Amino acid sequence: MPGYRSPIASGLAGVCPRCGQGKLLQGFLKPAPACSNCGLDFHAEETGDGPIAFVILIWGAIVMGFAFWAEFTFNPPYWLFVVLLIPITLGGGALLMRPAKSVLMALQLHHRAGEGDG
């Protein structure tokens, strides 16, 4: 589409897919109402909790796979799992949520997807 940047690249950068300048999110996960540079309306493209659910499910499966592998390979003490896996699970999930939400918003804006469009 003319005038639009790659939705994946702009989503990962957290910037407007049209101009590449304004921020997609204000705060941690709250979408900005519009681009501060070109005025593109972001309000209609609310993704809800969809990207967050995917991050939690996928990251949880990766961490649990690692935990099972470590348990059966090394048999470490349980306190080590608590000390390592809780921060890894929470920190990794938190780090992945913002880019996931931004990418999905940018993809919706790029494809002009709206609620109930089929």
pLDDT score of 45: 65
Distance CA 38, CA 21 (A): 8
30 vs 46, higher pLDDT: 30
Instruction: Return mean pLDDT, the chain.
Output: 90
Looking at the predicted structure, is the pLDDT value of residue 44 above 80?
Answer: no
Q: How many other CB atoms are found less than 10 A from the CB of residue 59?
A: 20
| pTM (2 d.p.) | 0.84
For the chain, give the percent of residues with pLDDT over 70. 91
| Residue 4 binned pLDDT confidence (cut-offs 50, 70, 90) | low
Highest mean pLDDT out of 26-35, 43-52, 69-78, 109-118:
69-78
Looking at the predicted structure, is the pLDDT value of residue 117 above 70?
Answer: no
DSSP state of 18: T
For the record, the structure tokens of 17 come out as 């897919």
Nearby residues of 111 by Cβ (< 8 Å), 6 or more positions away: 7
Per-residue pLDDT reduced to its tens digit, 50-104: 999 999 999 999 999 999 999 999 999 999 999 999 999 999 999 999 999 999 9
